[in-house]
Amino acid sequence: MSDIRTTRWRLPAAAAAITLALAACTSPSASPGTSGPAGGEPADGEVVMISSQLAPTAEAELMSNEILADFEGEVEFIGAESGPFNDQINAQAETGEGDISLIGGLDGEFQAFAANDVLTDLSDVAEELADLGINQDYLDLGKVGTDQQLYIPWMQATYIMVARTEALDYLPDGADVNDLTWEQLTEWGANIESETGERKLGFPAGEDGLLHRFFQGYAYPAFTGGVNTTFTSDAAVEMWGWMTDTWQYVNPQSTTYGFMQEPLQSGEVWVAWDHVARLIEALESDPEAFVAFPVPSGPEGKAFMPVVAGLGIPTGAPNVEGAKEVIKYLLSPETQATTLSAVSFFPVIGSELPGDLDPGLQAEADAVAAQTAADDALPALLPVGLGDQGGAYSQVFKDAFAQIVVEGQDPAEVLAGLLPNLQDIFEATGAACWAPDPPSDGPCEPQ
Amino acid sequence: MKSRLGWAPYALLVPSLAFLVVFFATPMVQAFTLAFQDPDGAFSMASVERMLRDASFRNALVTTLALVVLVIPIQFALAMAMALIINARLRGQGMWLYIYALPLGISELAAGIVWVSIFTQTGWLNSILEGLGIIDRPITWQSAETPLLLIMCVVIAEAWRATSIIMIILVAGLQSIPREYLEAADVYGATTWQRIRRVVLPMLRPSLQVALILRTILAFQVFATVIAIAGSGLDVLAGEAQRWATDIDNDHVAAAYAGLILVLSLVSTVLFLVLLPTREEHQA
């Protein structure tokens, strides 16, 4: 267990690859945010941290009991759904009263907080952490278009594919598992179905699954080259046709799946797409039984969604100094390594992490690196600047899926029916288009 | 007698009244207000209209009503049988009571998860059926493609989870029936069925009414069991309220859903009060 592998840390390569991809598509900035006066409570008090990341109970427990375990001081970690998360932070900023000293969230969420002028400048923390070699592109993202460091990059992740090894026997002729197309995935599922009689592809279409991200960051960009500007396009109709066609080889119980690692482990599903943190248990439990591989490509390229989470301090935070200590702790190589092994979010720092990499994590790191480095790689950002409309935005894609794929309605009609919902969201938030949609002057105009 | 009590009874009522006002009436009014407001606080039907054209609205309403209609009769039949078994004072009646009451101690979500482990493709049910040689390949019980099967799974889980509360009420009701009535029925040579039909059920009417009202209101709120077993495959009203409140972050539409649940609960309560009047209400 403890022998040091010389080939470890192909991770930095994966991280660098994601970074390059992101750098190519950094979105135009939101309005500048300025820091407000910070509260002056003693630094040795408890730090209350609210986070939209690691919010599922199992992950929140790992955060409290493992990742934060060695911190010298008290941190109360609260994982929250996007609704309560935005509400609490905005309410605290409005009233100037509240317990929250530290925010953990996605880049897009911080963009909205910055627009609401809710964040404190962390340039001093960034300077102190300069030795760690935090990814420069992510640091730039953390400035949210201002000259202040409004959040510090914390960790990163993405979505990949995992298959049980027995599924590889059914790959279409001539197909390379590391360079598939979405059409080949369908064929693969069809082969498995005709040979075994069972539908073994799997998607996290359950209540707490992340299927909406599949459409936002994978299927839409891969088939249409965009998301919002191509929402009702012919290519989009074609994509939904592909999805409906593929669904006949997808396990019909998929509408109950939240984390794909469980059906993969039980064998209900042989080939699945999901977030790296929601696949890792399968890969770790038996690295020999599973393979991790890059997502397939569509006509427009190999679209994928890099996820960058950051740490910020809200204005009016009762314990600013304590929160800064927590940030430094979470960015330290030891904690970044613990974070990786506990919840499989990848590091954002350049310095080498201590310890060995678990074979399961190594498999994920390799798949991520291959995915990002692909010739036809097409990074698609998480929604940017939607603020508290993020949930409503995702609901549009969930509704489209339910109506087109589950209920079998006509894609063109359903998409036309949902377009006004999408337009309302951009009208309400004024959010600009994000990659891979072309940049917009003013609010993005879905069509 | 009356004058000596003075204000005491009213004073004693104040705490519970205050509790109801603070924790029930006020949020109820607030919820209704929210449902009929736009984000700026002006009166508006927009949220209710948004709910009505919500993609899941029709499904949620139909599924919720279907669950109420399917679950409640099953639960009452089961609860009645269980209560009669306990009341028959068989050997080990205490044990029966404990076994039947067991699900009361389990949370709704935990119960749902237990049933997932039974119904999932690699779950207990398929394993047993395969072991017995009844099927050669797992049956998919929890699929949105077979909604009837899916609803059946939820009905079974709900029946298991929430029958005991009815049973407890019915046992209490049964035990308050004076033995003289049953003895009199015996004297006239009534059969068991006649005793249940002519003596027990009429005497049990107040308990039945309470249990029906309670259980129906809870059935309109069904949520965690459905989420656990059906995932996104079945929509129910309470689930939609939750989705709009936490995922979509629109309290107004969430309140519209909550208000609809409240209206349905009120209507069903009134229906039960009218259709199943107890003796006192008859006389009044």
Number of domains into which chain B is organized: 1
pLDDT of residue A370: 86
Q: What is the pLDDT along chain B (284 residues), one digit of tens a residue?
A: 456 778 888 999 999 999 999 998 999 899 899 999 887 788 889 899 999 988 889 999 999 999 999 999 999 999 999 998 888 877 877 888 888 889 988 988 999 999 999 999 999 999 999 999 999 888 999 998 899 999 999 999 999 999 999 999 999 999 988 888 888 988 988 888 888 888 888 889 999 999 999 999 999 999 999 999 998 889 999 999 999 988 888 889 999 999 999 999 999 999 999 988 776 555 44
* Cβ contact B122–A267 (<8 Å): yes
Residue B140 sits at the chain A interface (C-beta within 8 Å): yes
The percentage of chain A sitting over the pLDDT mark of 70, rounded to a whole number, equals 90
149-208 in chain B: CB under 8 A from chain A: none
The Cβ of residue B266 has, within 10 Å, a number of other Cβ atoms equal to: 11
* Cβ contact A253–B247 (<8 Å): no
Which among B243, B170, B253 has a CA at the least distance from the CA of B207? B170
Chain A residues touching residue B55 (CB < 8 angstroms) = 399, 402-403, 418
Residues A106-135: what's their mean pLDDT? 89
Q: In the block, which residue shows the tokens 């009929």?
A: B36
Nearest CA in chain B to A405: B145
- Residue A427's pLDDT band (boundaries 50, 70, 90)? very high
Q: What is the pLDDT of residues A310-340, one digit of tens each?
A: 999 998 899 999 999 999 999 999 999 899 8
Tell me the pairing of strands A47-51 and A75-79.
parallel
- Checking if the pLDDT of A6 tops 80, the result is no
Task: Select from A209, A256, A266 the Cβ nearest to the Cβ of B230.
Answer: A256
pTM of the predicted structure, to 2 decimals: 0.84
- Residue A15's pLDDT band (boundaries 50, 70, 90)? low
* Helix axes A82-95 and A390-401, enclosed angle (nearest 10): 160
Contacts with A405 (C-beta within 8 Å, 6 or more apart), sequence order: A240, A243, A244, A247
Q: Tell me the shortest Cα–Cα distance from A267 to chain B, in angstroms.
A: 8
Query: Is the distance from CB of A145 to CB of A432 less than 8 angstroms?
Result: no
- Residue A351's pLDDT band (boundaries 50, 70, 90)? confident
Chain B residues touching residue A403 (CB < 8 angstroms) = 55
- Residue A140's pLDDT band (boundaries 50, 70, 90)? confident
Residue B90 lies in a domain: yes
pLDDT of residue A2: 40
pLDDT of residue A44: 56
Q: What is the pLDDT of residues A150-169, one digit of tens each?
A: 999 999 899 999 999 999 99
* Cβ contact B145–A252 (<8 Å): yes
Residue B229 sits at the chain A interface (C-beta within 8 Å): yes
Residue B10 lies in a domain: no
Give the residue, A26 or A185, on which the prediction is more confident.
A185
* Cβ contact B144–A251 (<8 Å): no
DSSP A149: -
- Residue A12's pLDDT band (boundaries 50, 70, 90)? low
Chain A residues touching residue B232 (CB < 8 angstroms) = 205-207, 209, 255-256, 398, 402
Residue B180 CA to residue B183 CA, distance in Å, equals: 5
Q: What is the pLDDT of residues A33-75, one digit of tens each?
A: 333 334 444 345 899 999 999 998 889 999 999 999 999 989 9
ipTM (interface predicted TM): 0.83
* Cβ contact B247–A82 (<8 Å): yes
pLDDT of residue B279: 61
Nearest CA in chain A to B121: A268
Q: Residue A359 class from Cβ within 10 Å (0-12 exposed, 13-18 middle, 19+ buried)?
A: middle
Which residue spans within A216-369 are E strands per DSSP?
271-275, 290-293, 302-304, 307-312
- Residue A10's pLDDT band (boundaries 50, 70, 90)? low
Nearest CA in chain B to A399: B55
Torsional class of A121: left (φ above 0), alpha (ψ -120 to 50), beta (otherwise)? beta
Chain B residues touching residue A192 (CB < 8 angstroms) = none
- Checking if the pLDDT of A31 tops 60, the result is no
Token digits of residue B268: 């069903």
Q: Tell me the shortest Cα–Cα distance from A216 to chain B, in angstroms.
A: 16
Nearest CA in chain A to B55: A399
Q: What is the rounded average pLDDT for all residues in chain A?
A: 87
Task: Select from B120, B233, B246 the Cβ nearest to the Cβ of A255.
Answer: B233
pLDDT of residue A41: 43
Residue B7 lies in a domain: no
Instruction: Give start-end residues of each CATH 3.40.190.10 domain in chain A.
Output: 31-158+306-357, 162-304+381-429
Residue B35 lies in a domain: yes
Token digits of residue A198: 């069972």
Tell me the pairing of strands A47-51 and A100-106.
parallel
202-241 in chain A: CB under 8 A from chain B: 205-207, 209
Q: What letters, b where the CB count within 10 A reaches 16 and e where it falls short, cover B11-25?
A: eeeeeeeeeeeeeee
Residue B146 lies in a domain: yes
* Cβ contact A83–B227 (<8 Å): no
Token digits of residue B208: 């039945």
Task: Select from A209, A255, A391 the Cβ nearest to the Cβ of B247.
Answer: A391
Query: Is the distance from CB of B201 to CB of B276 less than 8 angstroms?
Result: no
Token digits of residue A9: 């840390």
Residue B247 sits at the chain A interface (C-beta within 8 Å): yes
- Residue A24's pLDDT band (boundaries 50, 70, 90)? low
Residue B249 lies in a domain: yes
Token digits of residue B207: 């308990």
* Cβ contact B247–A394 (<8 Å): yes
| Sheet (strand A290-293) strand order | A201-202, A271-275, A159-164, A290-293
pLDDT of residue A33: 36
Residue numbers of the domain that contains B118: 30-283
- Classify domain A162-304+381-429 by CATH number: 3.40.190.10
Chain A residues touching residue B245 (CB < 8 angstroms) = 83
Query: Is the distance from CB of A114 to CB of A150 less than 8 angstroms?
Result: yes
Residue B91 lies in a domain: yes
Residue A154 has φ and ψ, to the nearest 5°, of: -120, -55
- Classify domain A31-158+306-357 by CATH number: 3.40.190.10
Q: What is the pLDDT of residues A71-113, one digit of tens each?
A: 998 999 999 987 789 889 989 988 888 899 999 999 888 988 8
Q: The domain spanning residue B179 has which CATH number?
A: 1.10.3720.10
Which among A188, A143, A155 has a CA at the least distance from the CA of A29? A143
Query: Is the distance from CB of B223 to CB of B238 less than 8 angstroms?
Result: yes
Residue B2 lies in a domain: no
pLDDT of residue A112: 84
Q: How many CA atoms lie within 13 A of B90 on its CB side?
A: 10
Task: Select from A198, A392, A398 the Cβ nearest to the Cβ of B137.
Answer: A198
Q: What is the pLDDT of residues A165-216, one digit of tens each?
A: 999 999 999 999 999 999 999 999 999 999 999 999 999 999 889 999 999 9
